[in-house]
Structure 1
Amino acid sequence: MVRFFQKAFSLAEMLIVLVIISIVVVFTLTLIKPDDSALRIQYYKAFNTVATAAYNIYEKALTENKEMYENEELCSFLKYYINTSSKYSCNQSYVDLSGSAFNKDNIQFTASNGMVFYMSRSFTTNYFQKEQKHRIIWVDINGKRRPNSAKWHENKPADIVAFDITDGGEVVPLGYPKIDVRYMSANVVYSDEEQKQDTMSFYKAQRTAFGQQQYEYEVFSYNFDQSDPRFGTSVLQIAPQFINKENTQQAQICKNDDGEIFPRCSLDIIK
């Protein structure tokens, strides 16, 4: 009787195949859904990019004895100080605070790292007994990859985030990244150096350091997007149930019982 022997894979060959499949799966998942650390890196990179450009623009305005630029002029200088591609140029097509009109016609420019920049038209509110201009910059932190939305969901973070450039050239984080530690977290820097610095959400750190008070010369105390009626229908307005989760008491050591105009505590955004 003739016997036929069928050759099988060896254990080593099977292990090699499994390793290759695992690498492909991990790579695919990374492309489809970045992990939390990637989201944090992208957000911080966007914040740092806007903050650095805004600082340079403000310094330029000072040398020219002008107020902080806005709208078309601001966009032109942002593009100048940020490494950009040449495909798009600043235009007068702005997005409103509802955050529902992000399309290619509204793109102001694209950074060389792929981040896409939009703007809202500047507007004025009254704070600190004087007019305060708001220059809202929107950044799609993962470029043209989906979901390309500023609407945040608890299980689906938005990839379009917003920042407010102040009259003094400083940058304020806006919207849901303030409560979502997947984007960023913060430390309270106490006046007492021995006080422990806990890591928490940006919004909770605001409340721990400043309570309900906003200080003119401490931009991280600003909470315009939650307190001003202009933002009432904005995609930046955080739903009450999420704000309630962030409730905390102001640290006793941070309170200004003597009416000081400067806060006793400050914030650091953790990279």
Structure 2
Amino acid sequence: MTPLTLRPMGTLAHEWLVNVLPPGRKFGLPSLDAYTYSWVPAANYVVAGSPCTGAASLILTLAENFATHGGHVIWIGITEDLARMCEQLTFKIAGLDLADAGARVQLDVFAHIKLAYAREQIGKMWIDFCNVEDCGDTDVEREFIASVSSFKPTLIVVDESIFDEVTLNPFEVLVRQTHARRMVEELRGTNPTSSVLWHLPMRDGVASSITMQRPSLDDLPDAVSIIKPEVVLFTNRDSGSNNAELIVATNAYGTTGTVPMNFDAKRSTWREIDIAA
């Protein structure tokens, strides 16, 4: 007689959900969907690229697409990340150019109407923000996790600020990353269909390089060895133009390759190239 094998309830629940729930949500960029198909529950995705190549805007685009189509987005970062994300997403949905930090702009009545519409649309999305600066307080963490727990398709976004090794000392970096990783695991336990999107910085020498070269896996920080992503995407862009590309460098669900794209830095928007145009 074969001995009975006991398996964790969480594992059984996850397997049941994968088999019963409808296919995962698409990325919202058809050419990218052709490579990766859809968000896979429990998978790790990495997006990286030098600052001027639009990696942060790609993260925002993917998160917006996920939330717009009924998904739940949980953004892990610091206080400044929330303000930046809200501002960029509002102007992006409104179709308005985002001013440079610190710059004063005059908006006409039509721009204000567009911004009001954008805020209304954001209000319809389920986006929660987890501040790692509050992590360490058991009661606060427990209350937050309970408030965001669901069986709804969930995308956990880990902001690049978590891996900031420039303005923080090594101990602060370690604490911030430890809190973020623990929170990801806690959220995965209560959101069994969640995928995780990590925004990793490039290595210091690559990120500060004036000469833009095609990125590679060797340009990623050491954190990638802990994350062990199933998919790695790099952003690359021609200097001074909207011509850009997404490089599928690692893909456990298909092939690797390059996706030509159009990146509008002023509007934080990645779009498909209209071949027929």
Judge same fold: TM > 0.5, yes or no. Answer: no
The structure whose Rg is larger is 1
Whose helix proportion is higher, 1 or 2?
2
- TM-score w.r.t. the length of structure 2 is 0.25
Whose strand proportion is higher, 1 or 2?
2
Higher relative CO (CA 8 A, sep ≥ 6), structure 1 or 2? Answer: 2
- TM-score w.r.t. the length of structure 1 is 0.26
